[in-house]
Amino acid sequence: MTASGTTSPAVLEQLLRRSADPRRRILFTGATVVTMDPDLGVLDRADLLVEGDMITAVGPGLNRDGAVVVDATGTVLTPGFVDTHRHAWEAQLRRIMPDVDDLGAYVMSTLAGYATVYRPQDMYVGTRLAALTAIDGGITCMLDFSHNSRTPEHSDAAVQALVDTGIRGVHASMAPHFGAWDEQWPGDLSRLRDRYFAGEDQLLTLRLAALATDEIAGPALAYGPELARAARDLGIGVSVDAVFGASSSRAVQRWAQEGLLGPDLTLIHATGLSAAAWGAIGESGTTIALAPTSDAQIGLETAIPAVDEALSVGVRPGLSIDVEVALASDMFTQMRALHTIQRMRAVNAVHGTGRQPVRISTHDVLDFATLQGARTNGLERVTGSLTPGKKADLLVIRAEDLNNMPLNDPIGTVVLGSDARNISAVLINGEPRKWNGQVLGVDLAALRDEVHASRAYVLNTPAAQRM
């Protein structure tokens, strides 16, 4: 793999032929390695060794014995991006409402309309499409906030889609907001855990998903002692969506009093929260998943991503995509949006005062998109940095393509210059999932037919048309 992004087909053939060998060694040579490990930093003209599913060494001049050698000269190696919150089942409805201007319009069209007619196969198609797109854009770990679990079969289809793509998937299960369903949630989480998530060393992780308050869908979906107890009994984390405004601020303070905050809990959005709520979040180590384009574009509460508020209480947030019905699908957009919005606000806040603005950096947003995202998803020990001993979830980004050359600052190049076309290779758990710029194992024509058929069914079903 060189600056042009090409490598001999024989290299990929070797990798795939030896995929079942737990001792398979892959050595990437000559790259700029952005480890996102605070102790390792950025290494120029370095090597990275993958053995089986794990990174075992990073540095110059590593031993090549028995390894499949990949020349990564002219590239930047980074950890895979981590998406902390995406409603993956909606993917066949991408950009169907690109200019939605309030949460209510999204809720009524998508959750009270389209969602109610989804079949299990539609859940599968949407989730698989979202996961494959994530891989194409360098997201190696995705939390699927699957809030359309109408039947056990709907949940099974969503999980199976993650399995079939090979992504490091986090299935966060929640009942639907509106419409008929089997009322099997959250009890069905026990079955899901036993069927799909029994192993300790696997790609999939299970979480419970909930809402912050009862304002949108009633008390059954609102996080509180009962749902916290269900998650605790199952030994899984909790992700809470729609955390914004005064009512969520009061809820956060109540959870603090009830002992329901902590590192196993993720609050999504967190826009417009009170100082008291942020104090409770910081003291408890509760994690935060920001959705920069969602907050700003849809206009959620203050419409300002709460990065400054999180940092002020010592919380380094993860980043997320949210809803593809209105938003971009990739992490590059999230990093750039947050970087721009925060720096704009920082300068504007001190304009004319003589004070110095406090601005985040490209390193900050890449940290949010990798290591902090892994921590937010409960997987910091597994992924998020190119640290020996972690799983081999990594990207090879061409730094000498037309839009990136010449390579001057590797982190700046990744955050501000790159996009999915520059990602030459994606490895997840040591397995190539994208190579030479192409996602592997996908019959694109067949997938396109499935996506179009599912979309046609959803849009043409009378219950959806009435909304």
pLDDT digits (tens, 9 = 90+) for 389-420: 999 999 999 999 999 999 999 999 999 999 99
Name which of 142, 213, 204, 209 is nearest 176 in CA terms: 209
Q: How far apart are CA 209 and CA 456, in angstroms?
A: 28
User: For residue 353, what pLDDT is reported?
Assistant: 96
Average pLDDT over the chain, rounded to an integer: 95
The answer to whether 353 and 359 are in contact (CB under 8 A) is no
Using the predicted structure, report yes or no on whether residue 280 has a pLDDT greater than 70.
yes
Using the predicted structure, report yes or no on whether residue 8 has a pLDDT greater than 80.
no
Q: How far apart are CA 317 and CA 86, in angstroms?
A: 15
394-398 and 67-71 strand pairing: unpaired
Cα separation values, 68 from 10, 77, 132, Å: 10, 17, 26
Q: How far apart are CA 205 and CA 202, in angstroms?
A: 8
User: For residue 7, what pLDDT is reported?
Assistant: 63
User: For residue 288, what pLDDT is reported?
Assistant: 98
Domains of the chain: 9-80+384-436 (2.30.40.10), 81-376 (3.20.20.140)
Residues 6+ apart with CB under 8 A from 55: 48, 49, 386, 387, 388, 389, 390, 391, 392, 394
Using the predicted structure, report yes or no on whether residue 20 has a pLDDT greater than 80.
no
User: What one-letter code names the amino acid at 32?
Assistant: T
Residues 6+ apart with CB under 8 A from 367: 36, 316
Mean of pLDDT values over 3-18: 71
pLDDT tens for 318-353 read 999 999 999 999 999 999 999 999 999 999 999 999
Using the predicted structure, report yes or no on whether residue 4 has a pLDDT greater than 60.
no
Using the predicted structure, report yes or no on whether residue 245 has a pLDDT greater than 70.
yes
User: For residue 5, what pLDDT is reported?
Assistant: 45
Name which of 216, 125, 234 is nearest 176 in CA terms: 216
> Which residue did the predictor score with more confidence, 4 or 429?
429
Residues 6+ apart with CB under 8 A from 51: 23, 24, 25
Using the predicted structure, report yes or no on whether residue 466 has a pLDDT greater than 90.
no
Using the predicted structure, report yes or no on whether residue 14 has a pLDDT greater than 90.
no
Q: At what angle do helices 120-136 and 444-460 cross, to 10 degrees?
A: 130
The answer to whether 45 and 395 are in contact (CB under 8 A) is no
